[in-house]
Structure 1
Amino acid sequence: MAMSAVSPASILDKPLIHFGRRVLDRTAPGAPDAEYRFLDVLPLTPHIGAEITGVDLSKPIGEDLAGELRQALLEWKVVFFRDQHDFGPDHHLALAAVWGEPEANPFFPKAETPGVSRLAKDAMAIGNENIWHSDHSFMAAPALGSVLRAVEVPPAGGDTMWADMAVAYDNLSDEMKARIEGLTAEHDWVPTWGSFMTEEQIAGLRKNLPAVQHPVVVRHPQSGRKVLYVNEPFTTQIVGLSDAESQELLSELVLQARIPEFQVRFRWQPDSVAIWDNIAVQHYAINDYYPQRRVMERIAIAGVPLS
């Protein structure tokens, strides 16, 4: 049976069935090239993700090194360190302090070390972070970033992926960019975290954690780049649109994080550390290691309201 031809135009109309060149700018057009004297940068892709070498995170972080760490994260959006064998909770907190104050996740178990959350997943506590998301987008001032340390990793699996949401915005059609310009979306924790709670528990938390609104397209606080800021678990609706139109638009926008060219993937080893810019990227913890054990420690960095 002969197959009917599908025109390129009809293929390109579909949100993820498209091909060809991607616009993969690492920094804003015209931004000067960064220079590093206190660390070395090994890119994992041309635009997102780099391993940092030549740094022992158990040593005091001077201002010169801190400045280059901030620059590297701004440039690469997520950076990685290997073999940080002497890296403990105090070093973890000192590293996060390069960017700001720690911020507790209201739904994580209470940390043994204030500010450091321990995330242990195994056959008794199955990982459920395997969805593209931005940490704390349900808060009025979402987390600026996160610092994650691998304590125990499975022999295979348990990788994490990050997607560059500035590049995701850059690759939207001109028509889509015009359509979403100036729109605002609601973000809420109840459809996700609330699914594990009683109505009484939800009501008690609602007093301090109401639904919040953020622009669909935000300006990154440091780089000024436009970033697509909607994510599947926490963005519930686009303000001012009908339910049907909101769902249709969100269903297309959240898919952009799934395009492989926008992503970097990291294979964890014990004593690896990752730092990511939570405004510039979304991330996805791959849950392919059940029932093996995976233990991570995380600090979120307090952020600012987005515009």
Structure 2
Amino acid sequence: MTTTLETRDIKPKIASEILNSKEELLSGELAAGIRELLEQRGVLVFPKINFTDEEQLAFTRTLGDVARERSGEEVFPISLDPEKSAGVEYLKGSFYWHFDGTMQPKPILASLLSSKVLPPSGGNTEFCNTYAAYDELSDEDKAKLEGLTVIHSAWNTLYYYEPEPDQEKLERFMSVGEIELPLVWTHKSGRKSLVLGCTARHVVGMEHKESALLLNRLREWATSEPFHYSHEWSVGDLVMWDNTGTLHRAMPYPLDCGRELHRTKLEGEEPIAA
């Protein structure tokens, strides 16, 4: 018998639960439907599926090519404990709206996070649907955004959490480089989404005050209701999101609490294009 994808929408414009069993998910029979639903809904929640690292990696492989971390891992621990994760400095930027892989030729398609250790308070992960946010802009706004490009850089993110960095750290972040990207991403599907987040520094050719006001207004719009979803974690949850059409951030939690999630990623399949 054909396995049917069992779903429940969480909010009208973002996020659905997948209610199939672990065995059904690992079979790969549902992969095409999951990928289609991911683009439509932005965020998919697999409540208390309790994947091991090996199972999470196997499930990720049913959906596409696995993207390795810069350090080579296929499964990456997300933690601010330096004994658990080598990416503590990099993870400090995760408390601000962003999407992953801004500097890559093809940003990753999707991320998958499994919850292993919960904080005593806080620590939700928030998402917003930048497809839906673009779709509901006025025609006047859409016309104004047409053709605009934005400079993105890692060092812009640094200033969010360390406004007075030492020179060595600033130079290290600047060495990553910067990139000019369209403010509106026209996907190969023909759909459009907003390209925003804490890496966005300024709109090319626009006066800096006007640029700051525009980027802030669009971020405020995209992260508002009804495009927003906040996931309150239970141990064993898996959450997957379309990195090409959502922004995400972690909500504050006690930094020394040992909160831990494990991430796998899908390789990007298209560049950001106007």
Work out whether the TM-score is over 0.5: yes
* Counterpart check, 1:226 vs 2:192: yes
List per-residue Cα deviations over 1:223-264 (Å, max 9, x = no partner): 421111121x10111122232332222122221233121111
How far residue 61 of structure 1 moved from its aligned partner, in angstroms, is 2.9
How far residue 200 of structure 1 moved from its aligned partner, in angstroms, is 5.2
Instruction: Give structure 1 stretches of 5+ with no counterpart.
Output: 1-35
* Counterpart check, 1:213 vs 2:177: no
Normalising by structure 2, we get a TM-score of 0.83
Cα RMSD between the aligned structures? 2.9
* Counterpart check, 1:96 vs 2:60: yes
Q: How does 1:1-307 map to 2 (within 5 A)?
A: 37-56=3-22, 60-62=26-28, 64-85=29-50, 87-97=51-61, 98-104=63-69, 106=70, 110=71, 114-121=73-80, 129-193=94-158, 199=167, 209-221=176-188, 223-231=189-197, 233-289=198-254, 291-303=256-268, 304-307=270-273
Q: Aligned residues: percent identity?
A: 28
Partner amino acid, structure 1, of 2:153: D
Q: Which has the higher helix share?
A: 2
Structure 1 pair 260/121, CA: closer, same or farther in 2 (3 Å)? farther
CA distance in 1, matches of 2:112, 2:20: 18
**Partner residue, 1:25:** none
Q: SS state of the match for residue 128, structure 2? A: strand
Kept after mapping to 2: 8 A contact 1:70/1:99: no
CA distance in 1, matches of 2:171, 2:94: 24
CA distance in 2, matches of 1:246, 1:180: 12
Structure 1 pair 219/95, CA: closer, same or farther in 2 (3 Å)? farther
How far residue 199 of structure 1 moved from its aligned partner, in angstroms, is 4.8
Partner amino acid, structure 1, of 2:156: P
Q: Which has the larger radius of gyration?
A: 1
Instruction: Give structure 2 stretches of 5+ with no counterpart.
Output: none
Q: SS state of the match for residue 234, structure 2? A: coil
How far residue 292 of structure 1 moved from its aligned partner, in angstroms, is 3.3
CA distance in 2, matches of 1:123, 1:287: 18
Structure 1 pair 65/131, CA: closer, same or farther in 2 (3 Å)? same
Q: SS state of the match for residue 190, structure 1? A: helix
